[in-house]
Structure 1
Amino acid sequence: MATEQETDAPVNDARTPSTPRTPRTPGAARAGVVYLVGAGPGDPGLLTVRASELLASAEVVLHDELVHPALLDAVGSDAEVRHVGKRGHDRVAKDAKQAEIDAELVALARAGRSVVRLKGGDPFLFGRGSEEAEALARAGLPFEIVPGVCSPLGAAAYAGISLTHRDLASSVTMVSALSRAGAAYDWSELASVRGTICVLMGMHAIDTVVAGLLGPGRCAPDAPVAVIQWGTRAAQRVVTGTLAEIAGLVRAAGLGSPGLIVVGRVVSLRETLRWFDARPLFGKRVLVTRPKRQAGSTSRLVRLRGGEAVELPTIVIGPSPDPARMAAAAEAVGKYDLVAFTSDNGVDRFFAELGRLGGDARAFRDARVAAIGTGTAAALAARGVRADIVPGAFVGEALAQAILEDPVLAAKREAWRAQEAERVQGGERAQEAERAAPVRVLIPRALLAREVLPERLREAGCEVDVVPVYETFPAPVEQREALLRALEAREIDVVLLTSSSTATSLCDLLGARAVALLAPVLVASIGPVTTASAEKRGLTVGVTATVSTVAGLIEAVERHLAAALPD
């Protein structure tokens, strides 16, 4: 059911091997080349443009364990994606696994595949990117290094710590707590260091790290220290203290790997410069109920505000139940006076059919175009069509009113009425085919939707064709189990309802337990129509957006959470 800004669409998340592809753009991944790509410290928004370009075009992607799952959404649907991460403290097993990765990269390149080796942080900073590059060089195979934002820079910045400062530190030393053979770092190398020290891979032996830093001529016991776990992610946690006490503080807080240890006077800047973990949405687990293809943009907005998006779709979008009628509407679109779109989905499906028939934006000719909101208008603009009518409130009632007030369409209706009146007064009994037609309106929408828009337009004398271009279905049973587990474990803090259909389907999936399971959760609705649908099912809606867009919904949630924060 499409009401406000519903933008759900089907998902095709297949990851299967493919035959070599010819690069379609100059920067696409090339056959037989291995790209050692830095994924950044965690936040998917920190991925470089070059890395995104390669992920979208590579045939094979081999990724580390700490790579954010959202980064894999950028991979082509026909690419082969495999996890090759190594964790734990067994150095022999890790070395053996690395040898397998090196050999696989060589074999894939020799087979003519385009390969992205996606590594956390930067491939050349305390990772094994250089070893992988050496293996490729020995085999005489081409490779490219794509740097990434390294974890010390990213994690420190997200914790509000500037690693250098004109008054506090003029140098940065980065240390790996372990050598290749697993031996501890020789801390005596830091005897003359006076700037900031960043220690990576030291969380499992933090007491040894502290003891090394406290050695002769090194750091003082009262040196400021910050330990940052899961830096740049919504799960980020930061503990600060002195070097002498930090190990105990870390254990008391339960921090573990992956973590970064920062030592130096710059740590004192955190209380002034912290920004990421001071946001109202920081750390909140937000349920995104739309299918994955449409959920990505919503999840990105959640992450930009410091939240953790949990994508568990409640509905699936299916094809038109009447494809012949949809095709006929696409072929005749230029004969309508107005085409009104009530969702992004309607835009996607209608233009897909238009393209299948060999048409594009030019097919609209002189037809006026209406969009229920700014999101739908943006979807039209991306396809070369500017919406003539966009109401101030993104609901069917407001769209109907905006259409009826449109001066161009109003003039057509008045002209038709005047012509009819003249005929009646003149006693004419013209044949139907000879009479001027009223305003003709096409509404491509979901099969099931509120009838307020077509009803009001018909009441005003318009001739309205409602054509279903897609249909919504409940999510599969396995989705219900995942939802139940997440809610029972209290792993969800906020639920975003972006349409009446997501609200209804969520309740249907949860069944009789819906109200009880969602009672501890902040339920947020995109607008009053969606709120009414949720409340009809017994849910308590804590937030209703005044601007019925996804961005407006998330901003409303932020304001609500900010108001609840202590002064």
Structure 2
Amino acid sequence: MNTKDPKIINISIVGSGPGDPELLTVKALKRIQNADIILHDNLISEEILNLASAKAQKIYVGRKFGDIEDSMTRQDAIHDLFLEYAQQDKKIVRLKSGDSFIFGRVAEEIRFLTQQNIAFEVIPGITAGMAAANSQHIPLTERNKTNSVLFCTGHTATYDFEQLDALANMLKTGTTLIMYMGYKNLKEVITVFKRIATDETLYISAVSKVSQADETIFTGTLDEIEQKLELETIPMPVVFIVGKYAFPIDANLTKI
């Protein structure tokens, strides 16, 4: 199977970025505009969905927080749709938010397509953490300050002690942490970091609705963010950037 040959590709797995259609890659835009079927996730913006042609059938296959449907049942349904429309020689776009390989469960779909001998391609997208950092002028790496970036989810708070200890030490030595799906467990995450990184001042920037017109940022130390969360609710979706220098370079903060 030659998944590099566009003549035989049945399915395009497309990263749609954080929501702004101008942040799509050129290839992603072409696939969306030429699709017969679009299987899309929850956080795909209306502006991006509206780029599809009038003939395209848009099918929601996403999952929201609080949904009661079992994740495996939902994934099996997506696989069934792959088979159904690939057998009809439809041009299928599997549209995922951000980048498909950043917490997008794309591995399960690729394994299934490979097992079924269905040709596919994967088109990268801008993940929300990268978009947030660029939009808000937060350097994820900087010479002599931040030397690495780590992507994780809010389940960070449930890591075992050795993992948490290693993570805290990475933060202290210059790693920037990008955390997705962390709002629910944020207070627990903050508590853990404060306990382990006691000798360091760590900042959190919470960026809400990345790339949208009403994008908002909440920035402060671990203690300050805790206080802000008690006073305000951060509009979802939100991505968190954590580290010694995890704040906009033009912010009026004491530690620059």
Range into which the TM-score falls when normalised by the shorter chain: 0.7 to 0.9
Shift in CA distance, 150/119, structure 1 to aligned 2, threshold 3 Å: same
CA contact (8 A) 1:178 1:185 kept: yes
Higher RCO, 1 or 2 (CA under 8 Å, sep at least 6)? 2
Residue in structure 1 matched with residue 221 of structure 2 by the alignment = 242
CA contact (8 A) 1:227 1:260 kept: yes
Of the candidates 175, 184, 192, which is equivalent to residue 158 of structure 2?
184
TM-score by length of 1: 0.40
1:50 aligns with 2:27: yes
| 1:83 shift after superposition | 1.9
Of the candidates 80, 87, 103, which is equivalent to residue 126 of structure 1?
103
* CA–CA distance in structure 2, aligned partners of residues 130 and 35 of structure 1: 14
Q: Please list, as runs of the form range in 1=range in 2, the aligned pairs for 1:41-190 lying within 5 A after superposition.
A: 41-89=18-66, 93-178=70-155, 184-186=158-160, 187-190=164-167
Residue in structure 2 matched with residue 203 of structure 1 by the alignment = 183
Shift in CA distance, 268/72, structure 1 to aligned 2, threshold 3 Å: closer
Residue in structure 2 matched with residue 255 of structure 1 by the alignment = 234
1:230 aligns with 2:209: yes
CA contact (8 A) 1:122 1:147 kept: yes
* CA–CA distance in structure 1, aligned partners of residues 14 and 202 of structure 2: 35
* CA–CA distance in structure 2, aligned partners of residues 135 and 48 of structure 1: 25
Q: Can you list the C-alpha shifts for 1:32-63, whole angstroms capped at 9, x where unaligned? A: 61111000012111000000111111110111
User: Is there any run of 5+ residues in structure 1 with no aligned partner, and where?
Assistant: 1-26, 274-567
Q: How many residues align?
A: 243
Shift in CA distance, 154/98, structure 1 to aligned 2, threshold 3 Å: same
Instruction: Please tell me the residue identity of whatever aligns with 2:180.
Output: L
Instruction: Please tell me the residue identity of whatever aligns with 1:169.
Output: T
Shift in CA distance, 42/251, structure 1 to aligned 2, threshold 3 Å: farther
Shift in CA distance, 87/167, structure 1 to aligned 2, threshold 3 Å: same
Q: Which has the larger radius of gyration?
A: 1
* CA–CA distance in structure 1, aligned partners of residues 200 and 76 of structure 2: 41
* CA–CA distance in structure 2, aligned partners of residues 211 and 272 of structure 1: 25
Instruction: Give 3-state SS (helix, strand or coil) of 2:30's partner.
Output: helix
CA contact (8 A) 1:41 1:154 kept: yes
* CA–CA distance in structure 1, aligned partners of residues 227 and 215 of structure 2: 19
* CA–CA distance in structure 2, aligned partners of residues 221 and 247 of structure 1: 17
* CA–CA distance in structure 2, aligned partners of residues 219 and 68 of structure 1: 40
Instruction: Give 3-state SS (helix, strand or coil) of 2:47's partner.
Output: helix
* CA–CA distance in structure 1, aligned partners of residues 122 and 107 of structure 2: 9
Q: Can you list the C-alpha shifts for 1:199-241, whole angstroms capped at 9, x where unaligned? A: 111112211221233343x475631211111111112111111
Of the candidates 241, 245, 267, which is equivalent to residue 246 of structure 2?
267
CA contact (8 A) 2:20 2:47 kept: no
Shift in CA distance, 119/108, structure 1 to aligned 2, threshold 3 Å: same
The more displaced of 87-96 and 243-252 is 87-96
Instruction: Please tell me the residue identity of whatever aligns with 2:207.
Output: I
Residue in structure 2 matched with residue 340 of structure 1 by the alignment = none
Shift in CA distance, 185/108, structure 1 to aligned 2, threshold 3 Å: farther
Of the candidates 212, 232, 244, which is equivalent to residue 192 of structure 2?
212
Instruction: Please tell me the residue identity of whatever aligns with 2:17.
Output: G
Shift in CA distance, 95/209, structure 1 to aligned 2, threshold 3 Å: farther
Shift in CA distance, 47/108, structure 1 to aligned 2, threshold 3 Å: same
Instruction: Please tell me the residue identity of whatever aligns with 1:239.
Output: F
| 1:253 shift after superposition | 2.3
* CA–CA distance in structure 1, aligned partners of residues 80 and 159 of structure 2: 29
Indicate the structure with greater helix content: 1
User: Is there any run of 5+ residues in structure 2 with no aligned partner, and where?
Assistant: none
Instruction: Please tell me the residue identity of whatever aligns with 1:133.
Output: I
Q: Can you list the C-alpha shifts for 1:418-447, whole angstroms capped at 9, x where unaligned? A: xxxxxxxxxxxxxxxxxxxxxxxxxxxxxx
TM-score by length of 2: 0.85
Shift in CA distance, 105/220, structure 1 to aligned 2, threshold 3 Å: farther
Q: Can you list the C-alpha shifts for 1:364-389, whole angstroms capped at 9, x where unaligned? A: xxxxxxxxxxxxxxxxxxxxxxxxxx
Instruction: Give 3-state SS (helix, strand or coil) of 2:211's partner.
Output: coil
Shift in CA distance, 177/239, structure 1 to aligned 2, threshold 3 Å: same
* CA–CA distance in structure 2, aligned partners of residues 249 and 241 of structure 1: 9
RMSD: 2.6
| 1:257 shift after superposition | 2.8
* CA–CA distance in structure 1, aligned partners of residues 5 and 237 of structure 2: 32
